[in-house]
Structure formats: C-alpha cells, structure tokens
Structure 1
C-alpha cells in the first residue's frame, strides 16, 4: 500500500489544522483538519478492500522465430458479488532483466462479468519473454492511496533466432542406410538408452523387464550409427565477441542464427544433432519427437556470460576456463563425428584449442562470425567458415565443395 503525495499532503495538513484548532481555540480549523484525516482513513479502508478477480492467460503461439507474431490474451473475471470493479491493471511483459508494463483497461467490471484483453508480444529480439503476473492497482476516488496486487499466473514465450536455408549437410564418416549419404559402405543400429514410452512408439521396442521394475512402460532407444551425428559448440563467452555492448552483441545473434540454421538442416534430413554451449548447457542428441524444440529453446535462452575470475597457469590459460572444460568434455564423451564450433572475432586466439579436437572428431569446422579483421589466423587441418552474419554463414556453408 502506497500513500500518494496528495495523501501525504492532505494528512499532514489535516493534522496541522487539528493541532492549531485545538491549541488556539478555532473550531473551524479543527473541523477542516478532522475532515482531512477522516478522508485519508476512508481512502485507506477503500484501498484495503481486495477485489475478487479471476485471471486466465493464453499465449498463441508460445514459440516463434524472431519477428513472427505472438499474442497474449487475458480473461479477467470479477468473481465478487457486490460492486463493480474500476481498476488500473498492467501486465508484465519482457525479458526477466528488463520487463515492460502493458496497460490493461478494466473499467467498470461488473460482478460476475468478464472481459478479454489481447496484446501483441514484442518478438523483435531473440530470447525468452516473461509475461505476467497481472498487476492490478486500486486507488480511492480522491487518489490518496494506491495498492498494487498480483493476479493470475505467468507464461513464457521463446523467441527463436532466425534460420536460413542450408541445402548441404555434413556426411560424417559413414552413410545413411537409405542411401542419402555414402561416404562409408557400412553401418549399424545399436542400443543407446532406455526412455519412457510415448504415443507412436512400436510395442516391439518395449523393454518389459525394466517396465515391470519401474512400473511404467520403458522403450529401448536405438542409435543409428550409419547416420552422421552433428555437434554444434556455441561460444557464449562474453570475451569472444568484440562488439558486445549494453544491448548484447550483433555478431553473437548472427552465431545463434547460424546454429539455428544448422539445427533446421539436420532436422530436415532427420540427422541426430547435439547443441552445446561453452558455459555448459546442452540439448539434443536424439531424433525423438520434440528434440529440435529443445535445441531451439536452448538457443533462445543463450546469453553471453563473463568468465569467472581465476589464476592462470604457465601457458597463460585459466585451468577452469569454460572453453577448456567444454573441449575436455567433448574429447571424453565424443557425442558425434562432425563438430561445428561457432565463435566471434575476439575468440580467434582460441581456435587452436578447438582444432585440437581433430583427433576425437573426424570432421571439425570452425565458424567465425563478425566483421572481418586484418591478419586473421588460418588454422590448418580444419575447415574455416568465415562469415559476417547468419545469412552469409548459410551461403558459405552451402559453398563448401564436400563435407
């Protein structure tokens, strides 16, 4: 509950008039002061009354590409029995670190009635947009007191980076059984893991012994080793992007577009793909339904992160540097046979570290996004994809003679 400046002035003046009237014997001043104090007490009681509202929220759609439309629809119902609710409401909408207030008019909402209010979600920037809860502000008629309360639930909208059409896909070290890729003339389908049954799975893949133990159907997930498995490593270290500013980095947004384009190309060809951020989070690794959505969700949530403060070793590198940790993790687990590393111009000095994964990954490609600079290094033994933005990266990708 907030007392407005008008309320503070009225209360202060009323107390002063009361004191002056009683002290010097002026009943008129005392009456004016008492009236002011009573008005303030009435305003406090009026604002303390909590309106009975039911708020439901619908988002359509909740996952869009940058620039596409998304709409939030609020249904506000006055569940009280007496009195119409005249309220000022604002819905919270925007990134968690920089939310905006969208006005929602609720004028004379009668008991038992509801009203629908829709507004477009800003999707001009990649990221996760938080909407809600609805902030309802109740003021007395004189504007002396203001009370804000939260109503309803919250929702999230994932704004994906734009993706550009890529016609080529890496062939890896082996071929697809259906004949699309033919670098190596043999392949196999092997057991990978167990997962919960989803509608559409073949019953012949159900592992009945495990299902009996856990009490629910478990399905054997097989890995087609004849298909190339792609691994995308996205550099989300703030120090790797020279153009980083208060509003982020345009080059990093281009790298996210490049990663989204690779995900779209792999999904179109039904190829397994895994996305890793240098900071640690990862998604993908299978071809089950909804896997591409997890990859794009991770791209929408990706943010530039500052490196932790640490001492350096004899080689001038921090032992717990995120890129060192990421490359060691990939070297140990090797989740694929084709690695694509995406970084900025400020991260050119670390290309040799990623190039060292050539022994673990038969095919390594280094994607550098951002304006071209003088004396850029040319790593040997790996494919360098140099582009200024996402669309340029797609063109350079398709220009590769043979993956």
Structure 2
C-alpha cells in the first residue's frame, strides 16, 4: 500500500503541473493580446511615451472639472479645471527644446558568465557652443533601467560615469541606448532623446569541462563504420554485380576476370563524430526554473566540450535550431533561450528534426522532471536506430543515477558538478 508520503508527493506534483500549465496559458494569452494590439500601440506611442501616468490623471481631472463646472453652475470646479490645464501647459515648456548632447556607451566585456561582474563606462559630451542644463540620463539594461544625474556641461566638456550590470541570471541584455530625459518638476510630461546606439551583453550559462567525453560519450570517432551499405566510401564491405550507373572506378578487375562478369566494390558507410544537443523549452517539462537552467548548463557543457574536441555539433530546442558553428555562438544562443509557450512535447520536436540533425551519431536530450518515461520512449522511436540516444533528466537536488530503457540511456543529474559522473556511468 502507498503511504501518506507517496500521496503527498503525488499531490504536490499535480499542483506543480497545474501551476506550470496555468503559467503557459497566461503566457500564450499575453502574447496573443500583444500581437493583436501591436499596430494601435505603435500609432499612439508618441503620446504615451510623453505623457506620464500623473499627466493622464491631471488631464482627465482638468477635462472633467471644465465640463462639470458649467453644467453644475459651480464656478470653483471650472476654476480648478482651468488651473490644472494651465499646469499642463506650463509642463510643456519644460520639455520643449533641443538637447545638444552626445553619448558613448562602452562595455568592458560583451560576454560574461552568470555571476561575473560586467562593467562599463558612460561618457556624455556637450559639442555645442552653449552650456547645457542639468538633466537625467538613463539607459535600459534588460528589463531594468539605470539613471544618472548629469550636471550642466560647459561647451566642449565631458562627463564620465562607471556602472556595473548585474548578471545573476542567464540572459541576453540590451544595454542602451543612452537617453537624455527632460521632465517638468511635477513629472506630468517626459521627453526622451536617444544619444547613442544600443549594445548587447550576453550572460552565458555556467558550464564545466566534462573530462573524457570524447572517448566515453562519443565513441564513434572518425572512420567508425555503421551498418549501412554505401556505393562510395572508404570501408570495403563486399562485391556485387555491376549495374548500369555504377562508378567504373569501383570495378574490381581481378574478380571480373575470374567470374567473367563485371563486379564492383561495395562499402560500409563511415561517420564522423557528430553530437546533437536537444533542450526542451516547454514550460510544462520542468517543475521549476532551476531545472530549466540546469538543463541549459548541461547542454552548454557537453556542446562546448564537443567543439573543443574537434567534433561536429548541432543544437536544437523546442523553438528550433540553435547556432553551433563555434562555442561562442553556441553559448550566445543558449543565453537567449527562454520558455516557448507554443512548444510541443518532446515527441513532436524529435519528429520534426532536419536531415542534418538526424545524421548525428550521438543525441543528448536535456529535459526536466516533467518529461515522462513514456514520452522518452515515444521520442526514441522517431530517432535513427543507429544513433546513440541519451536523455539527461535535470532534477535539482537528486543524486546522480543511470538507467537503461532498451538502447536509450537515461541519466539523472541533480547538480551541474555531477554531470561528469553521469557521463562516465552512461559511457561504461
């Protein structure tokens, strides 16, 4: 019989699944609303970017008082509305005019690892012939925004600021553009002018070196044959009778002389070491964000190790293919990987792999605790029989373990530092 702990664990898992499904549904709804209102928001952007929330409140109050005063024959209401309207008109005077400033944003490094400091310099210059007045200079950093008080600058003067970008989470951060902000004292109106171009900061996931991966995980080094017969390769397999269209260079003349029939060589197909990392970006496949981050770190560690060992690398997610030409491009792609609200199950991703991706000799599926064993078995059916498939289940806090489902190896990893142990076990 199942004890109370078993029922409690099942109930907790069910609640987690429902919560993740609710988040996925909310994300799909938000994306749908944003797409349908995109044109309207673009048309009214000049107004919405200038008038602040306080400005809208004052404008609506002024309009209401100006209309209600005459209707109710209440002079004080009309005077109050007129006063608020004058306040709005005076606020316009604070935001009009030119901003003769130039800015330069320099990042010390445009690629860092999670947890490393990313420093930069902001330089603002006044190239005009008159003194600029003090104002606020801002620039966005991802979803956040940094702000500096810029003092008045004499003609030709410069001002420098040193800043640090927090990198606690993996991300692709848009840094900039530097924006000069003019605002009235009451904060009713706000006018912005871009002073520089936007820069990009890549916060790479944590990775580690997986010792022995080339000799263990990927066993089929260059020249290893696979059980596929080919008419043009380097590994001789057998002789067969010549048919129209065969390459005459492969005719075996000694056998032809003995049998009196044209005989051609047949070969076994050889394959280069080719690793494919597949990361599920479906929200429901993970019980927590930590599992998702661990899966990305696992894929990054195995992929960069494969590239360092001179192997061919392909990478996919539920979104589609990821760049894998170099370690830097590969990690850049992983930095920007997020949940895909429309992502299908692992089976659908495996079913729609391209021909080049299916040619991989080893496939590593990086998944979370939300992917069931049944899903793994079904996904394996759509992958080539002669391809070695390994699923790495990322369950934060679990002890490393390995089990086999036929020719499918399933390794459980609880921490990134345990990846090497799991690789050695699955390669044994």
Question: TM-score over 0.5 for the alignment?
Answer: yes
The separation in 2 between residues aligned to 1:226 and 1:378, in whole angstroms, is 25
* Matching of residue 120 in structure 1 with residue 164 in structure 2: yes
* Matching of residue 263 in structure 1 with residue 280 in structure 2: no
Residue 421 of structure 2 is matched in structure 1 by 395
Residue-by-residue CA offset, 1:130-167 (whole Å, 9 max, x unaligned): 21122322245x55764330312111111111002210
Q: 2:408 aligns with which of 374, 382, 397?
A: 382
What secondary structure sits across from 1:345 in the alignment? coil
Residue-by-residue CA offset, 1:104-145 (whole Å, 9 max, x unaligned): 2211222221212221111110111121122322245x5576
Report which of the two has the higher share of helix. Answer: 2
Residue 328 of structure 1 deviates from its aligned partner by 2.3
* Matching of residue 359 in structure 1 with residue 384 in structure 2: yes
What's the TM-score, normalizing by structure 1?
0.67
The separation in 1 between residues aligned to 2:393 and 2:171, in whole angstroms, is 22
- Counterpart contact for 1:231–1:335, Cα < 8 Å: no
What's the TM-score, normalizing by structure 2?
0.64
- Counterpart contact for 1:175–1:228, Cα < 8 Å: yes
Residue 221 of structure 2 is matched in structure 1 by 175
Residue 93 of structure 1 is matched in structure 2 by 141
What secondary structure sits across from 1:167 in the alignment? coil
Residue 328 of structure 1 is matched in structure 2 by 351
Residue 239 of structure 1 deviates from its aligned partner by 1.1
Residue 78 of structure 1 deviates from its aligned partner by 1.8
Residue 190 of structure 2 is matched in structure 1 by 147
Aligned residue runs from structure 1 range 183-202, under 5 A: none
* Matching of residue 229 in structure 1 with residue 274 in structure 2: yes
Residue 87 of structure 1 deviates from its aligned partner by 0.3
RMSD between aligned residues: 3.6
Residues 164/395 of structure 1: CA separation in 2 closer, same or farther (3 Å cut): farther
Residue 131 of structure 1 is matched in structure 2 by 175
The separation in 2 between residues aligned to 1:62 and 1:361, in whole angstroms, is 41
Residue 50 of structure 1 is matched in structure 2 by 98
- Counterpart contact for 1:2–1:146, Cα < 8 Å: yes
The separation in 1 between residues aligned to 2:85 and 2:297, in whole angstroms, is 62
What secondary structure sits across from 1:305 in the alignment? coil
What secondary structure sits across from 1:71 in the alignment? strand
Residue 58 of structure 1 deviates from its aligned partner by 1.6
The separation in 1 between residues aligned to 2:307 and 2:187, in whole angstroms, is 59
Residues 386/47 of structure 1: CA separation in 2 closer, same or farther (3 Å cut): same
- Counterpart contact for 1:367–1:386, Cα < 8 Å: yes
Residue 271 of structure 1 deviates from its aligned partner by 1.3
Residues 377/262 of structure 1: CA separation in 2 closer, same or farther (3 Å cut): closer
The separation in 2 between residues aligned to 1:235 and 1:8, in whole angstroms, is 49
- Counterpart contact for 1:163–1:257, Cα < 8 Å: yes
* Matching of residue 296 in structure 1 with residue 342 in structure 2: no
- Counterpart contact for 1:307–1:322, Cα < 8 Å: no
- Counterpart contact for 1:90–1:103, Cα < 8 Å: yes
The separation in 1 between residues aligned to 2:423 and 2:347, in whole angstroms, is 26
In terms of Rg, which structure is larger? 2
Unmatched tracts of structure 1, length 5 or more:
20-29, 189-224, 244-248, 309-320
Count how many residue pairs are aligned between Structure 1 and Structure 2.
313
Residue 253 of structure 2 is matched in structure 1 by none
The separation in 2 between residues aligned to 1:160 and 1:272, in whole angstroms, is 21
Residue-by-residue CA offset, 1:301-346 (whole Å, 9 max, x unaligned): 11112246xxxxxxxxxxxx45344212337442311111111111
* Matching of residue 110 in structure 1 with residue 154 in structure 2: yes
Unmatched tracts of structure 2, length 5 or more:
1-49, 70-78, 227-232, 235-269
The separation in 2 between residues aligned to 1:110 and 1:131, in whole angstroms, is 27
* Matching of residue 164 in structure 1 with residue 208 in structure 2: yes
Residue 379 of structure 1 deviates from its aligned partner by 2.1
The separation in 1 between residues aligned to 2:180 and 2:173, in whole angstroms, is 20
* Matching of residue 65 in structure 1 with residue 65 in structure 2: no
Deviates more, 1:389-398 or 1:342-351: 389-398
The separation in 2 between residues aligned to 1:303 and 1:397, in whole angstroms, is 26
